[in-house]
Amino acid sequence: MSGSTFGRQFRVTTWGESHGKALGAVIDGCPAGVSLSEEDIQRYLDLRRPGQSDITTARKEADQCEILSGVFEGKTTGTPISVMVRNADQHSKDYADIAKAFRPGHADYTFFEKYGIRDYRGGGRSSGRETIGRVIGGAIAARILDELGISVCTYTKSIGTVEIQRCDLAERHLNPFYMPDADAAVAAKEYVHKAMEEKDSVGGVIECRINGMPIGVGEPVFDKLDANLSKAMLSIGAVKGFEIGEGFQASLLRGSENNDMFRVSEDRKVVKMTNHSGGVLGGMSDGSEIVFRVSVKPTPSISQTQKTVLEDGSEVDMEIHGRHDPVIVPRAVVVVESMAMITILDLLLQNAVSRIGQIKKLYDR
Ligand SMILES: Cc1cc2nc3c(=O)[nH]c(=O)nc-3n(C[C@H](O)[C@H](O)[C@H](O)COP(=O)(O)O)c2cc1C
């Protein structure tokens, strides 16, 4: 399997399975001299940790990280940073009854057909726990973005049909859905509980806003900023849609409605009068806020009886009794934010050598 690394300059490799001994990430290409502690990473990991409310899986994991390499006296050394999280609360026997069955909507069938062998315990590599490595990478990227004055803010826009009516970021951390609208969070809870009573699951939409990006970040033509963001997002399990700015809505607008007209500000900078583009033009940041959304499907593992087949081809009815989130969205918020931070940092580093003038300045020539 060769798809475990993301990025060219800031390279994040995730490793480990849901029910193996541990999971983690190796980050190569992180500049030296960045202050980094286990607490910096833990803060982000705690946002995706399971077992924190009745709308997340009951699996209890401390998800404590250990930095194994690449940091000395609180600073990155420029060498590969390796970070590990040990698995603790493994109930492998929960999966015994589905060991030979393909869960509808999950990756069991395709993993088995591709490799002829699969770790059925919790989905192995296709488990949501793989995202621990992404969050580790994101937490490290965050340290650098912070120094560059770039902020990334991510929240839940909707759960099923319940959409936020306002965006008060202070309210985001006060409810288990990470919704910046406390009233919508109350309605979302009811919506999820109804699905849970019916042994079912729900999906939702996550929105991400990036501020402080310099102009011109993104590498035409295959590593455009929006192209790389969409790949980063669609690589997260259960993410099924990506849109930036007006997104799909742009197809319904006229050019005169969708174009962002230019003016010159008092301090002689070119500014856009609107932001239908979502902060990206021609695959490069245009200096305005970057705004994108992802859609997350309902959790595939549900306890309703479903029709499926076994590895030997026989048809069966299955019920899934393991511990699963009735909705993935709240725990995916920090994963989306992490992948966004990894993507923009990778492109910021690549952009640093886009002009001969910058290279000469770097080498003092
Ligand atoms: C943070 C996170 C947690 C997840 N938790 C679960 C879960 O508890 N049960 C489940 O069936 N799928 C869960 N998933 C989704 C599966 O990993 C995903 O649906 C599966 O790998 C198949 O990939 P696909 O949906 O992209 O086709 C989770 C995904 C993420 C990102």
How far is Cα 176 from Cα 40, in angstroms, rounded to an integer? 21
Q: Which residue has the tokens 């050598």?
A: 353
Question: β-strands 262-264, 290-296: how paired?
Answer: unpaired
CB-ligand 1 contact for 351 (6 Å cutoff): no
**pLDDT for the residue numbered 126:** 92
Pick the atom of ligand 1 nearest to 238's CA: 25
Mean pLDDT of the chain: 94
CATH number of the structural domain 5-362: 3.60.150.10
Does the beta carbon of 328 sit less than 6 angstroms from any atom of ligand 1?
yes
Q: Is 300 in the pocket of ligand 1 (CB under 6 A)?
A: yes
For residue 38, give the 3-state DSSP assignment: helix
Confidence grade of residue 359 (pLDDT, cut at 50, 70, 90): very high
pLDDT score of 217 more than 80: yes
Asked if residue 128 has its Cβ within 6 Å of ligand 1, the reply is yes
Residues in the chain: 365
Q: Is 106 in the pocket of ligand 1 (CB under 6 A)?
A: yes
In this prediction, residue 92 carries a pLDDT of: 59
State the maximum Cα–Cα separation within the chain, in Å, rounded to a whole number: 72
How remote is the CA of residue 21 from the centroid of ligand 1, in Å? 20
Write b or e for each residue in 331-352: b if 16 or more Cβ atoms lie within 10 A of its Cβ, otherwise e: bbbbbbbbbbbbbbbbbbbbbe
Nearest CA to 194 out of 156, 238, 161, 171 is that of 161
Share of the chain above pLDDT 70, in %: 95
The best mutation among 328, 329, 333, 337 to test binding of ligand 1, ranked by most ligand atoms within 8 Å of the C-beta, falls on: 328
The pick from 14, 177, 299 for probing ligand 1's pocket by mutation, whose C-beta has the most ligand atoms within 8 angstroms, reads: 299
- Ligand 1 pocket check for 158: Cβ under 6 Å: no
Residue corresponding to tokens 């589905």: 98
Whether 132 lines ligand 1, by a CB cut-off of 6 Å, is no
Tens digits of residue pLDDT in 149-197: 999 999 999 999 999 999 999 999 999 999 999 999 999 999 999 999 9
Least confident window among 68-82, 284-298, 322-336: 322-336
Residue whose CA is at the smallest distance from ligand 1 atom 29: 128
Residue 243 has pLDDT above 60, yes or no: yes
| CB burial string 96-126: b at 16+ within 10 A, e below | eebeebbbbbbbbbebeeeeeebbbbbbbbb
Phi and psi, residue 257, nearest 5°: -90, -35
Which amino acid residue places its CA nearest to atom 28 of ligand 1? Answer: 128
CB 156 within 8 A of CB 177: yes
Q: According to the model, what pLDDT value does residue 94 have?
A: 61
The 10s digit of each residue's pLDDT in 50-82 is 666 777 766 667 899 999 999 999 999 999 999
pLDDT digits (tens, 9 = 90+) for 74-126: 999 999 999 999 998 666 566 766 789 999 999 999 999 999 988 888 788 99
Q: Residue 356 contacts by C-beta under 8 Å, 6 or more apart in sequence?
A: none
Residue among 55, 106, 306 whose CB has most ligand 1 atoms within 8 A, to mutate: 106
Q: For residue 94, give the nearest of 50, 51, 58, 55 by alpha carbon.
A: 58
Residue 33's pLDDT is 98
